[in-house]
Amino acid sequence: MAEFKDLLIEIGTEELPPAALRTLRDAFQRGVTAGLEGAGIGFKHSSAYATPRRLAVVVDALADRQPDQTIERKGPAIQAAYDAEGQPTKAAEGFARSCGVGLDALETMETDKGAWLVYRGEQAGERTTALLPAIIHAALDALPIPKRMRWGSSDVAFVRPVHWSIVLFGDEVVEMPILGTSSGRTTRGHRFHAPQPLTLSHGAEYAERLEREGYVIADLARRRDTIAEEGRRLATTLGGALVADDALLDEVAALVEWPVAMVGSFDQRFLKVPAEALISSMQGHQKVFPVRGGDGALLPRFIMIANLESYDPDEVVRGNERVIRPRLADAEFFWNQDRRQALADRIEGLKGIVFQQRLGSLHDKQQRVATLAGAVADRIGVEARAGERAALLAKCDLLTEMVDEFPELQGIMGRYYARHDGEDPEIAAAMEEQYQPRFAGDDTPQSPVGQVLAIADRVDTLVGIFAIGQGPTGDKDPFALRRAALGLMRTLIERERSLPLRQLFGAAAAALPEDVASAADGEAVLTFCLDRLKRYYQEQGIGAEVFDAVAALDLDDPLDIHHRLQACARFLELDAAESLAAANKRVRNILRKSDEPIPGEPDPALFAMAEERALADAMAPLVAEIDDLAGQGHYGEALERLATLREVVDRFFDGVMVMAEDAAVRANRLALLQRLAGLFTRVADISRLPAGGA
């Protein structure tokens, strides 16, 4: 019977790349556990650890061997296994030898295709310790390391040089070579606080002893939480709040093994520089956390995370302050230098930046965007001049020294420089808003000019890149067109801007270089955008069938599509929805199968049954009413009125044979159904709605 023990695997290295630490940790854990599961070795739970100097996996309650397996091997057919005298043939003897048994251990298996020799037996499971080397090496080989390095005279390659390794199963060392080391039970603590070897008796004590004796918090998530909690605590004592995004917390946690938070300060004069520039400098260059005061403005303080408890913490702080001062001075210099030249004076400089070889320079692109922005502005009631001006200035901050140093500030610095130049406040705001939404969940542009610029810029990019055949393929999307398409759709919908995309894409195509414009395909771009919108709504809980029901009407106004989707989602909550959807499917099938001429209007004189007359009477007042409601965009009300037809439609199909023998009656009934189908498709193709709701 199997025994269960804890397994510890640790790979001790030189400092691992912080950006890859979480990925390496998770991949190592997946590789080890997948190997164990593939070998059929049971365990209770696994934990992954990572610090700058180690990757480790602890597996709790791991079985010490594979379970025994019942094996069944099929041999030759009986007629081939024995000759006419009943003596075993070479085929039978060879099969017995391959199974490691005598002929008397073989059995006969009857099947519908005849009788066969078969061997049935028990195969003892291998010991876990015998299987671990292959499992560990496979997990290490599979780590996502783009470029492995070698060290010393060895041919061993890994992400960083390896100095020690542990494979401890229970209290037993599983000896094996790992990346140029021999596995043991000795780990190493903090490089300065606990440099002496730390010998472990079993894997279960790994994290606790490393922290207590080795000054190492092995759990990456716990180090991150500690950094955030200590940083917030110190920021509170300063009367402010910590500025800490997830990426920086992750990176700092991957840089330290024993985080110690300290407060530093910088010269008040630097606060004249835009806060975003100071934050980028402090976070990007020094990996420290800025602090905002109660009014939201930066304080001349920062929270730094040391990797040790210093005997002289003040000196550590002073050292960081000395290093951060020239960084902030650089940002100050860029700020002062950039403002010497207005954004408008940089427009010509955009000619030197290639947007795309066939689509020209950034200057060419912004000229196209300006023309498109003027048209968009006219359509949504914004002054065309403002949209055109914003488009011409939009990318000029890319030529500033600040954005060259901190690319993440593009748009943000454009806003500051436009304000300094005395541009209209909405034009200045548009400099930043043109990039919104930057990521999932980000806001769409708030100002009308910002909306115009964001829409025009994305439309030009989408139409142009599709025209040169560089649309996304698989997981490759070098021009971020998926994000651009969804950003375009979200902006139109969330800011309630009604724009027909076919017309917009056509205007964008006309502005492209002649050799590219001829290949522009607005329908392909529209299909791509609607596909992105469909996926977005699925994430919001609106199913694909509901989207397809609306998309079947061949619409190109995202805001109109949105209103119809919302109405359909509410319609599906009505009791009548399922019945009407099923009836519409039936109507569409009948009309599709009919190959005879259908009159434009049904003739009441040809109604032979009360049910068809009742349906015509119920529809008569609804035709104009639903047309009027749908024409005004009151789709929910239109569908509610349509729902009142449920009973009369059900009675019609229960009592009326549409395909009557009399040709005139049959054609009249088809005309009645054709009118009903027209009502069913006024808001969406109701036949496509799911029978069981959204």
Residues 471-523 have pLDDT tens digits of 998 889 999 999 999 999 999 999 999 999 999 999 999 999 999 999 999 99
DSSP element (H, E) containing 63: strand 54-63
What are 160-207's pLDDT values in tens digits? 999 999 999 999 999 999 999 999 999 999 999 999 999 999 999 999
Give percent above pLDDT 70 in the chain. 99
DSSP 8-state symbol, 151:
-
- Please, where in the chain does CATH 1.10.3210 lie? 344-540
Q: What is the distance of C-alpha 74 from the center of its chain?
A: 49
User: How does the average pLDDT of the chain come out, rounded?
Assistant: 92
Predicted confidence at residue 659, as pLDDT, reads 85
Predicted confidence at residue 691, as pLDDT, reads 61
**DSSP string covering 92-135, please?**
HHHHHHHHTS-GGG-EEEEETTEEEEEEEEEEPPPBHHHHHHHH
Q: How many CB atoms lie within 10 A of CB 605?
A: 7
Kindly indicate whether the domain formed by 572-688 is annotated with CATH number 1.10.730.10: yes
The architecture that CATH gives domain 4-66+127-214 is 2-Layer Sandwich (3.30)
Q: What is the distance of C-alpha 167 from the center of its chain?
A: 36
Report how far residue 196's alpha carbon sits from residue 23's, in angstroms, rounded to the nearest whole number.
29
The dihedral through the CA atoms of 184, 187, 191, 192 has a sign that is negative
Predicted confidence at residue 170, as pLDDT, reads 94
Q: What one-letter code names the amino acid at 197?
A: P
Report how far residue 370's alpha carbon sits from residue 491's, in angstroms, rounded to the nearest whole number.
18
Residue 274 confidence (pLDDT) above 70: yes
- φ/ψ region of 176 (left if φ > 0, alpha if ψ in -120 to 50, else beta) reads beta
Query: For the CA atoms of 379, 465, 559, 561, what is the dihedral angle to 10 degrees?
Result: 140
- Residues whose CB falls within 8 Å of the CB of residue 394, separated by 6 or more in sequence, listed in order: 366, 369, 414, 430, 431, 434, 453, 457
Residues β-bridged to residue 172: 169
- φ/ψ region of 3 (left if φ > 0, alpha if ψ in -120 to 50, else beta) reads beta
What are 423-460's pLDDT values in tens digits? 999 999 999 999 999 988 899 999 999 999 999 999 99
Residue 629 confidence (pLDDT) above 60: yes
- Please, where in the chain does CATH 3.30.70.260 lie? 4-66+127-214
Question: Comparing 511 with 587, which gets the higher pLDDT?
Answer: 511
Report how far residue 248's alpha carbon sits from residue 244's, in angstroms, rounded to the nearest whole number.
7
Q: What one-letter code names the amino acid at 206?
A: Y
Residue 19 confidence (pLDDT) above 80: yes
Question: Comparing 583 with 191, which gets the higher pLDDT?
Answer: 191
Kindly indicate whether the domain formed by 344-540 is annotated with CATH number 1.10.3470: no
Pick the closest to residue 285 from 235, 323, 332, 247 (CA basis): 323
pLDDT band at 333 (very low <50, low <70, confident <90, very high): very high
- Please, where in the chain does CATH 1.10.730.10 lie? 572-688
Mean of the pLDDT values across residues 61-74? Answer: 85
Q: Is the peptide bond before 407 cis (omega within 30 degrees of 0)?
A: no
What are 393-410's pLDDT values in tens digits? 999 999 999 999 999 999
pLDDT band at 386 (very low <50, low <70, confident <90, very high): very high
Report how far residue 562's alpha carbon sits from residue 523's, in angstroms, rounded to the nearest whole number.
19
Greatest mean pLDDT among 85-94, 147-156, 295-304: 295-304
Predicted confidence at residue 694, as pLDDT, reads 42
Q: Are 190 and 215 in contact (CB under 8 A)?
A: yes
Give backbone dihedrals phi and psi of 151, rounded to 5 degrees, phi first. -140, 155
Q: What is the distance of C-alpha 10 from the center of its chain?
A: 31
**DSSP string covering 309-325, please?**
--S-HHHHHHHHHHHHH
User: Strands of 298-306's sheet, edge to edge?
Assistant: 240-242, 289-293, 298-306, 260-265
Report how far residue 652's alpha carbon sits from residue 658's, in angstroms, rounded to the nearest whole number.
9
DSSP element (H, E) containing 199: strand 197-199
What are 85-132's pLDDT values in tens digits? 888 888 888 888 888 888 888 888 888 888 888 888 777 778 999 999
Q: Are 676 and 646 in contact (CB under 8 A)?
A: no
Pick the closest to residue 274 from 231, 227, 338 (CA basis): 338
Mean of the pLDDT values across residues 355-371? Answer: 96
pLDDT band at 1 (very low <50, low <70, confident <90, very high): low
Question: Comparing 143 with 663, which gets the higher pLDDT?
Answer: 143
pTM score: 0.82
Give backbone dihedrals phi and psi of 473, rounded to 5 degrees, phi first. -135, 125
Predicted confidence at residue 102, as pLDDT, reads 85
Pick the closest to residue 584 from 533, 653, 636 (CA basis): 653
Residue 693 confidence (pLDDT) above 60: no
Predicted confidence at residue 129, as pLDDT, reads 93
Predicted confidence at residue 281, as pLDDT, reads 96
